[in-house]
């Protein structure tokens, strides 16, 4: 005779009737139309796990399964995220993998989902399969990308600060600092602080093509950071 199996919802009913309604095994079996042996089995599992109705009444089926039926929960397949949509969402301003992971978990509360680290690894594996229109090779110390970030940050006095960002092309080693505005002197100050932070200058500093500060000095994509150029920008003190 095949063994009776109970749904997780019915197991929750067993716990409710046993610890909340204080019914006997025989009464629970008659109410749920299952055998007393099945009732005894799940009451025993709940007792060993230290569960009662007060503990599990707000649990979903996945939580109950993880505690009472760990092997069954482990055999459940992971919900596969929509990697195409996630890749497109990352193009949105302010969007991060952390936010997308939280959205993915919240959308599947009853299912088995990847943890954040696994989520990131699977996304990176997906991104590597995408067709690349151009592959660029970076040499250490060759280029430094510089720009002002789009979002601003709030200050304690209620004002907003701009964010100057520099990143090494080869290592993606990032420097960032707050500046009052995006004027020429703010740009120079950010460059000075970045070069002191890195301990030297790269062969090229690459400014964004839509760099609004300084308008006359950002006309070219790549600008050599030679001593003469640094002097012309008033940042000779950053020379190392």
CA distances from 183 to 148, 157, 188, 223 (A): 11, 21, 9, 19
Better-scored residue on pLDDT, 218 or 104 = 104
Structure tokens at 205: 């500093």
Q: Is the pLDDT of residue 75 over 80?
A: no
Lowest mean pLDDT, pick from 59-73, 116-130, 168-182, 193-207: 59-73
- Percent of the chain with pLDDT strictly greater than 90: 12
Higher pLDDT, 126 or 216: 126
Burial of 9 (0-12, 13-18, 19+ CB in 10 A): exposed
Q: Which of 74, 100, 101, 72 is nearest to 7 (CA)?
A: 72
Query: The pTM is what?
Result: 0.41
CATH 3.30.420.10 positions along the chain are 143-238
Domain 143-238, CATH: 3.30.420.10
């Amino acid at each position: 005779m095949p063994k009776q199996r109970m749904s997780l919802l019915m197991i929750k009913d067993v716990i409710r009737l046993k610890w909340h309604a204080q019914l006997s095994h025989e009464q629970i079996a008659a109410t749920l139309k299952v055998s007393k042996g099945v009732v005894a089995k799940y009451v025993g599992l709940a007792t060993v796990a230290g569960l009662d109705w007060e503990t599990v009444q707000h649990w979903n089926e996945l939580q109950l399964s993880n505690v009472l039926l760990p092997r069954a929960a482990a055999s459940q397949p992971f919900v596969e995220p929509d990697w195409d949509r996630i890749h497109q969402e990352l193009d949105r301003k302010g969007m991060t993998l952390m936010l997308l992971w939280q959205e993915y978990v919240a959308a599947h509360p009853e299912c088995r989902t990847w943890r954040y680290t696994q989520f990131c690894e699977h996304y990176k594996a997906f991104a590597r399969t995408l067709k690349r229109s151009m592959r660029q090779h970076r040499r250490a110390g060759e280029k430094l990308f510089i720009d002002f970030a789009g979002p601003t940050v709030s200050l304690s006095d209620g004002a907003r600060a701009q964010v100057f960002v520099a990143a090494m092309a080869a290592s993606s080693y990032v420097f960032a600092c707050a500046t009052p505005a995006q004027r020429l002197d703010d740009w120079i100050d950010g460059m000075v602080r970045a070069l002191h932070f890195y301990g030297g200058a790269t062969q090229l500093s690459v400014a964004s093509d839509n760099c609004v500060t300084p308008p006359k000095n950002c006309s070219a994509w790549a600008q050599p950071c030679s001593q003469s150029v640094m002097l012309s920008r008033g940042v000779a003190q950053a020379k190392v």
